[in-house]
Structure 1
């Protein structure tokens, strides 16, 4: 296999796997609440990956790597929780389309936090993507969306803002640690933080839901490892186009699993957001969305 093609194929597999996890997590969030769904998926992910990490008998992460894990786990955790809370209230395709704002937001966050220059392409891309968000909002108005649906969309947009911050950390994290370590310690941080508030916001899932929790953890862990592997071997700009296939997976799974239809407004909005992202990243490499803000 061409070495340049391997990261692209890995990213494609990772995005498809994420799509399956999103569908399971949406069902769990509807049945059991987003907080508990995210909490127990993360705990199950730690239980699955920790033995593999320990079996390799590699050195414990350095202090610098642990700081990156803590930072990204905290930011990505908030993003994941908001995303699945919102996804339980909006169609999957619409929710995933809104997460595509993350790479654009990351460009501006990098400018604010790291002093990077925002080029004209990024500004133009942001304007185009904003039209996409307005198209999706117009679709909600036309469909007379409920307050719950509107709040779900706003939660996904907020998740994208937080996820943009985690994208800035992703490249550093992937360079400082191997894929399994990245996936494991991101889940460890998320689980630890959520367990602190579990007595107030969480609850144990019903026994009948345990296979779904484990399934989501397996898919999430595999996807996180594969994506981290791809990002360690290719620039984010090269992987960005592949990651937009998440819209296709979300539309298909939303229809198959939840009977959701995809409106023309959502398709038009997604197309404009993707176009805006591609315009923005034609210059310097920029992080791509990875659909859900994954932990």
Structure 2
């Protein structure tokens, strides 16, 4: 294990995803979310294929044990990406980032519902705290429903992003089940394939012809997203998940800086307070997962017969 290398790769991945989202936000006034998903998925494919070939995993990346699992994971994951991209058109980048932090909290809930994982009072309390933070972030948007058109669209954007977080959490549940029968390389490769095809279904709802500059930005979204996916996957090869997971929250710092200097967005105190509660709850859950992992490892060692 190389912890420092793992952390560095995770930070690079986080930065890649924020830059990708920033590019999507920049073109979002003219380019529909479904079209952005298409470019993001299509142009990530060459990067992923090259990476799999370099690792010698290309053959494994093409093997599928349960095809329909990939279809459903692709559908849910594409919905999550499309909703997040859609929300970027209406909300400041830091606010979208804060709302997507609800995803790991919802994973805990869905794991208990669909995977029969035991969730103690400690993690239930952390989830409740995090969801309180989500409500604090959402409150100014929800109360503006029915008011000015701009405010109403911001409220709709917030709801869309939250629904995207729900879909993202469900996608994580799918992945937890899929890794029992599928290779990680196959999950990554076929998601890009299925999301590319599913994004094409949004063509009847209206796509726009991008300008040359917008086309470059959209292609860059795919390439940068693919690079981010590679660094994210690689980070877990060099460090424990419990060590690198907290660095997901560095995305808030990146989002605030990019939002301020590129989009002239200044986060409100209420949004920052709500985001802080969500981050704190997420860190509590990560710490708890690490403790439970250590206990499970010790239990397995105790059960292993020694000669």
Within 1, Cα distance between the matches of 2:82 and 2:51?
26
Which residue pairs with 1:280 in the alignment? 285
Deviation of residue 196 (structure 1)? 3.1
**Whose Rg is larger?**
2
Which residue pairs with 2:133 in the alignment? 132
Q: Which secondary structure does the structure 2 equivalent of 1:64 belong to? A: coil
Equivalent positions of 1:224-263 (< 5 A) are: 224-232=229-237, 234-263=239-268
Q: For the aligned residues, what is the CA RMSD?
A: 2.7
Which residue pairs with 1:184 in the alignment? 189
Within 1, Cα distance between the matches of 2:221 and 2:215?
10
User: Which stretch of the first structure deviates more once superposed, 208-217 or 44-53?
Assistant: 44-53
Which residue pairs with 2:272 in the alignment? 267
Deviation of residue 73 (structure 1)? 2.2
Within 1, Cα distance between the matches of 2:116 and 2:237?
23
Which residue pairs with 1:290 in the alignment? none
Deviation of residue 140 (structure 1)? 4.1
Q: Measured at CA, do residues 64 and 232 of structure 1 come closer, stay the same or move farther in structure 2, by a change above 3 Å?
A: farther
Which residue pairs with 2:27 in the alignment? 28
Give the TM-score taking structure 2 as reference length: 0.82
Q: Measured at CA, do residues 281 and 238 of structure 1 come closer, stay the same or move farther in structure 2, by a change above 3 Å?
A: same
Q: Measured at CA, do residues 183 and 204 of structure 1 come closer, stay the same or move farther in structure 2, by a change above 3 Å?
A: farther
Give per-residue Cα distances to partners, 1:74-121, cap 9 Å, x unaligned: 211100000110111011101100111111100111111110011112
Q: Is the 8 A contact 1:93 1:251 kept in 2?
A: yes
Give the TM-score taking structure 1 as reference length: 0.85
Q: Measured at CA, do residues 78 and 235 of structure 1 come closer, stay the same or move farther in structure 2, by a change above 3 Å?
A: farther
Within 1, Cα distance between the matches of 2:235 and 2:178?
13
Q: Measured at CA, do residues 69 and 141 of structure 1 come closer, stay the same or move farther in structure 2, by a change above 3 Å?
A: closer
Aligned residues: 284
Whether 1:59 aligns to 2:59 is: yes
Q: Is the 8 A contact 2:30 2:208 kept in 1?
A: no
Can you give the 5+ residue segments of structure 1 that lack an aligned partner in the other structure?
Answer: 287-295
Within 2, Cα distance between the matches of 1:7 and 1:210?
33
Can you give the 5+ residue segments of structure 2 that lack an aligned partner in the other structure?
Answer: 292-307
